[in-house]
Structure 1
Amino acid sequence: MSLLNLRLQELHNKLHAKEITVTDLVDESYKRIAAVDHKVRAFLKLDEENARKAAKALDEHSGEGHPRGLLFGLPIGVKDNIVTEGVTTTCASQFLSNYNPIYDATVVSKLKEAEAISVGKLNMDEFAMGGSGENSSFYPTHNPWNLEYVPGGSSSGSAAAVAAGEVYFSLGSDTGGSIRQPAAYCGIVGMKPTYGLVSRYGLVAFASSLDQIGPLTKNVEDSAYLLQAIAGHDPKDSTSLNTEIPDYISALTGDVRGLRIAVPKEYLGQGIDPKVKDAVLTALKVLEGLGAVVEEVSLPHSEYAVAAYYLLASSEASSNLARFDGVRYGVRADNPKNLLDVYLKSRSEGFGNEVKRRIMLGTYALSSGYYDAYYLKAQKVRTLIKRDFEQVFEKYDVVIGPTAPTTAFRIGSQTEDPLTMYLNDILTIPVNLAGIPAISVPCGFSDGLPVGLQIIGKALDESTILRVAHAYEQHTDFHKQRPQL
């Protein structure tokens, strides 16, 4: 068995007893990457020299007194829109193919403080715009469960690398489901924290009011440990919440007796694959058997979430990506005639089709004469969606449903149909619009592909969704199953 398949506590004990070294763990990660990543294509850039130096340094000083956290020495992958000092950060775009950051994102600094080791940068949809991993300007990532299928997106490499056993865990970003949907497709755990709980400093912005960094892990316990390490106030991020961070590990009690679960009828209605629905209903029966109370509710404005999201996210993208002009950031086009031509040619050559599509949509929604009709109306719908959740949470502890309406689809099957592609996020988008936390955990398989269960909680109540997810996980073994590459 690979060392990276052991439970976190087991690895920590082995490191503490000097049965293994950090170098052994890093070796294991790079051996696995060498063996399978030519099939999976999860990584864009490996940082092997720095990773091995860091491992050696940790091994040399491992007996020098200061207590080691449970993340000590563990190999981690970082999504390529999270900046890393001295390591190319491209957002999977040709536009940033030459961008070498001079600082670390706050989450990367926190992981270094926890003495985890970054082994490389992970593939993604360009500028996090996509739900399949196919919009990377370098190459698409493949689903480890079936290489002919997508791994989901935009955190495609982050999910696939964990599922394929290439890293112990990874960081992704979630704007409309970009952690939870690929986690569901790849049969792992993916968590989107409350907006502002984890610093966005150093995350290349797509939609600033929606983006949130979070963990992708093999199980719920690891998710709690990783969230504990990266959560917290950051004065460098004006949207960071100055709130006390609870002990997420202590929430993993396995006890859900008396817990009230809301199941929105809109989340199990038309458009949901029957096999996905069956897996979710079976999961709810497991939680009922543990003493939870399950009742049907309505989130009536959910049907407008996709339309509102794509107007708001595209509008923010149009604004955020204006800085990429061939002058301040990114690759500049050759032989421009004048300054306007620099902008035009650099952006035309640097951005892919999906990024251009969203910039155009956002620019239109923000333009004079259309702002009130589109952008302002979408903001009002966002408020209604948030109120729907607030009303449900007055009576219930969590909301549960599928993470995605279907399992993963074949690579290339939806690339010519962006509207169908957008609808794959119909169940995850409302969470981002409301700014609340949610987690996806494996709850079954359909035709050999994983199904994800989404557990949604109140703002800043990550402890409860972790408790529910962990209790469910302890009574199933879906999270233990690994793809055979």
Structure 2
Amino acid sequence: MSDLNKLGLAEARDALRKGEVTSVELTESCLKAIDDADALNAFVHKTPEIALERAKAADERIKAGDAPSMCGLPIGIKDLFCTKGVPSQAASKILEGFKPEYESTVSQQLADAGAVMLGKLNMDEFAMGSSNETSVYGNAVSPWRRGNDDAQLTPGGSSGGSASAVAADLCLAATGTDTGGSIRQPAAFTGITGIKPTYGRCSRWGIVAFASSLDQAGPMTKNVRDAAIMLEAMCGHDPKDSTSAELAVPNFEAMLTGDIKGKKIGIPKEYRMDGMPAEIEKLWAEGAEMLKAAGAEIVDISLPHTKYALPAYYVIAPAEASSNLARYDGVRYGRRAQLAQGDGITEMYEKTRAEGFGHEVQRRVMVGTYVLSAGFYDAYYNRARKVRTLIKKDFEDVFAAGIDAILTPATPSASFGLGEMTDADPVQMYLNDVFTVTVNLAGLPGVSVPAGLDKQGLPLGLQLIGRPWDEGDLLNTAYALESAAGFVAKPGKWW
């Protein structure tokens, strides 16, 4: 079999079980693809020795007949996950040289399931960004191009390296994290599938924190079946994470029947934004028709507090970030600035943080510190928390009325060029999260499924939002949508 790196998780798993291919062969194919794709800047710490060692162990395990679904499958790990003995920088200068002495729960669970780590993936610094342009490693680049245009496009953010690597077949799948859309937006931009599970479904232990009440890990894969396989391996209760849910993890793959007859799919009127491109509007309408043709009932619904979601998110997330990032002080780990004669501890903090944090992280830390300060705490932070409660209640009311899932666009546009949305107006960049942040504020599961191409040949995704803890049902609806959309486009290889 040639081009083994182009397989998905399910196909590769089945080939491994039949003895048609070994994990070492799969891994070598991916390692070669990674070495040939430096132009994408997706993998920032390559770990070929670890990968081949794990692949050999996986082959032994498969031979012995004791192999879970992920065993022997080569994947990439976002740089936000701590990986023992391997640089884990969260794409920030301030964590330069940090090699954890421990493994994050999610990456450990994947390793225990026999998955093969190929290396660490590029991302926005501390997961703050929607275009992967805030990384200390430089921009991750999308494998997609607009027609015959050579302009480099963003793979989305913050999990841009993960999206780029999966779309370009550098790995079979990758881990991502999602605080306001950081799995679903890059998945939509690159024509892959990404699911953010319910808050508490995956452990956050060992994942560098951005906004603790919003962050959630999830898989980024080539299709919905692969997302179901990988999500099952990533989930589970973890006593080390106080927000981790003590719930059994179902066999998500077994729930993919494609049968959605009688399901009620909500279409929220508030997601019809002014200035939404006609292509997105059309795709959304087509998605609803596809689900209707598969036997679902389409219902118009209202989520009245949607318009307050973005402002509430951009108060809560920076507030939590400013608290979480206070630990990076140049004392305990990571980088410390060079100090001048006579500098004290205050100067050390100031210089270390000024050098170590990039502009976007500095901006959000300052916003967060401001909204938490004594004079503004009630006016901003407490008010945003109240709005969050109202947004959550909107969803609870809709689900209580019998809606099974909600269909929305995943992004307000297709991928844009790197450098096209510069620092001049950060709000323009923040608007990329307009369809995704409500899901994090309400702690719900959301999945992005590729559903079509725009007129320039770039992928567009649709988002499905599910009931809490109902990832299996949500994935099944996504599976029906994926089957109907029949999206098979791949980027042409230019790198």
TM tier, smaller:
over 0.9
Distance across 1 between alignment mates of 2:207 and 2:10: 30
* Percent identical: 49
Distance across 1 between alignment mates of 2:384 and 2:193: 30
Deviation per residue, 1:250-277 (Å, 9 max, x gap): 2111111111011111212313211011
Q: Which residue of 1 aligns with 2:155?
A: 151
SS of the aligned residue for 2:282 comes to helix
**Which segment is superposed worse, 169-178 or 245-254?**
245-254
Distance across 1 between alignment mates of 2:194 and 2:370: 33
Q: Which residue of 2 aligns with 1:414?
A: 421
Q: Within the alignment, does 1:202 sit opposite 2:202 as a pair?
A: no
SS of the aligned residue for 1:27 comes to helix
Structure 1 residue 5: Cα displacement = 2.6
Q: Which residue of 1 aligns with 2:250?
A: 246
- After superposition, residues 284-433 of structure 1 pair within 5 angstroms as 284-336=288-340, 337-395=343-401, 396-416=403-423, 417-433=425-441
Q: Which residue of 1 aligns with 2:106?
A: 107
Q: Which residue of 2 aligns with 1:237?
A: 241
Deviation per residue, 1:424-450 (Å, 9 max, x gap): 101100000000000000011112111
Deviation per residue, 1:40-82 (Å, 9 max, x gap): 11111001111112222333454234x2122111111010010
Distance across 2 between alignment mates of 1:404 and 1:434: 18
Structure 1 residue 233: Cα displacement = 0.4
Distance across 2 between alignment mates of 1:263 and 1:14: 40
Aligned pair in 2 of structure 1 residues 268, 27: CA closer, same or farther (>3 Å)? same
Q: Which runs of 5+ in 1 are unaligned?
A: none
SS of the aligned residue for 1:454 comes to strand
Q: Note if contact 2:202-2:244 (Cα within 8 Å) is conserved in structure 1.
A: yes
Deviation per residue, 1:323-361 (Å, 9 max, x gap): 000001220001241111110000000000000000000
**Which segment is superposed worse, 211-220 or 336-345?**
336-345
Q: Which amino acid aligns with 1:58?
A: A
Q: Which residue of 1 aligns with 2:148?
A: none
Q: Note if contact 2:7-2:172 (Cα within 8 Å) is conserved in structure 1.
A: no
Q: Which residue of 1 aligns with 2:225?
A: 221
Alignment size in residue pairs: 482
Q: Which residue of 2 aligns with 1:127?
A: 126
Q: Which residue of 1 aligns with 2:481?
A: 472
Distance across 1 between alignment mates of 2:249 and 2:24: 32
**Which segment is superposed worse, 200-209 or 239-248?**
239-248
Q: Note if contact 2:411-2:432 (Cα within 8 Å) is conserved in structure 1.
A: yes
Q: Note if contact 2:284-2:462 (Cα within 8 Å) is conserved in structure 1.
A: yes
Q: Note if contact 2:13-2:73 (Cα within 8 Å) is conserved in structure 1.
A: no
Q: Note if contact 2:8-2:172 (Cα within 8 Å) is conserved in structure 1.
A: no
Structure 1 residue 211: Cα displacement = 0.2
Q: Which residue of 2 aligns with 1:461?
A: 470
SS of the aligned residue for 1:424 comes to helix
Q: Which amino acid aligns with 1:429?
A: V
Q: Which residue of 2 aligns with 1:445?
A: 453
- After superposition, residues 71-90 of structure 1 pair within 5 angstroms as 71-90=70-89
Q: Note if contact 1:305-1:430 (Cα within 8 Å) is conserved in structure 2.
A: yes
Q: Within the alignment, does 1:46 sit opposite 2:53 as a pair?
A: no
Q: Which amino acid aligns with 1:409?
A: F
Aligned pair in 2 of structure 1 residues 184, 20: CA closer, same or farther (>3 Å)? same
Distance across 2 between alignment mates of 1:271 and 1:461: 33
- After superposition, residues 30-41 of structure 1 pair within 5 angstroms as 30-36=31-37, 38-41=38-41
Q: Note if contact 1:48-1:120 (Cα within 8 Å) is conserved in structure 2.
A: yes
Q: Which amino acid aligns with 1:411?
A: L
Q: Note if contact 2:304-2:394 (Cα within 8 Å) is conserved in structure 1.
A: yes
**Which segment is superposed worse, 238-247 or 268-277?**
268-277
**Aligned alpha-carbon RMSD (Å):** 1.2
Distance across 2 between alignment mates of 1:441 and 1:156: 16
SS of the aligned residue for 1:77 comes to strand
Aligned pair in 2 of structure 1 residues 61, 454: CA closer, same or farther (>3 Å)? closer
**Which segment is superposed worse, 170-179 or 467-476?**
467-476
Q: Note if contact 2:404-2:466 (Cα within 8 Å) is conserved in structure 1.
A: yes
Structure 1 residue 206: Cα displacement = 0.3
Distance across 2 between alignment mates of 1:8 and 1:130: 28
Structure 1 residue 7: Cα displacement = 4.4
Q: Note if contact 2:237-2:247 (Cα within 8 Å) is conserved in structure 1.
A: yes
Structure 1 residue 161: Cα displacement = 0.4
Deviation per residue, 1:457-480 (Å, 9 max, x gap): 1110111210100011122321x2
**Which segment is superposed worse, 372-381 or 391-400?**
391-400
Distance across 2 between alignment mates of 1:320 and 1:366: 13
Aligned pair in 2 of structure 1 residues 99, 182: CA closer, same or farther (>3 Å)? same
Distance across 2 between alignment mates of 1:115 and 1:320: 32
Deviation per residue, 1:376-418 (Å, 9 max, x gap): 0000000010011111111211111101111111110112220
Aligned pair in 2 of structure 1 residues 7, 217: CA closer, same or farther (>3 Å)? closer
Structure 1 residue 481: Cα displacement = 2.0
Q: TM-score, normalised by structure 1?
A: 0.97
SS of the aligned residue for 2:461 comes to strand
Q: Which residue of 1 aligns with 2:94?
A: 95
Q: TM-score, normalised by structure 2?
A: 0.95
SS of the aligned residue for 1:161 comes to helix
Q: Which residue of 2 aligns with 1:10?
A: 11
SS of the aligned residue for 2:36 comes to helix
Q: Which amino acid aligns with 2:26?
A: L
Q: Note if contact 1:268-1:401 (Cα within 8 Å) is conserved in structure 2.
A: no
SS of the aligned residue for 1:319 comes to helix
Distance across 1 between alignment mates of 2:185 and 2:309: 16
Q: Which amino acid aligns with 1:145?
A: W
Distance across 2 between alignment mates of 1:311 and 1:61: 48
- After superposition, residues 131-142 of structure 1 pair within 5 angstroms as 131-142=130-141
Q: Which amino acid aligns with 2:114?
A: E
Distance across 1 between alignment mates of 2:393 and 2:197: 19
Distance across 2 between alignment mates of 1:375 and 1:76: 38
Distance across 1 between alignment mates of 2:385 and 2:175: 29
**Which segment is superposed worse, 54-63 or 407-416?**
54-63
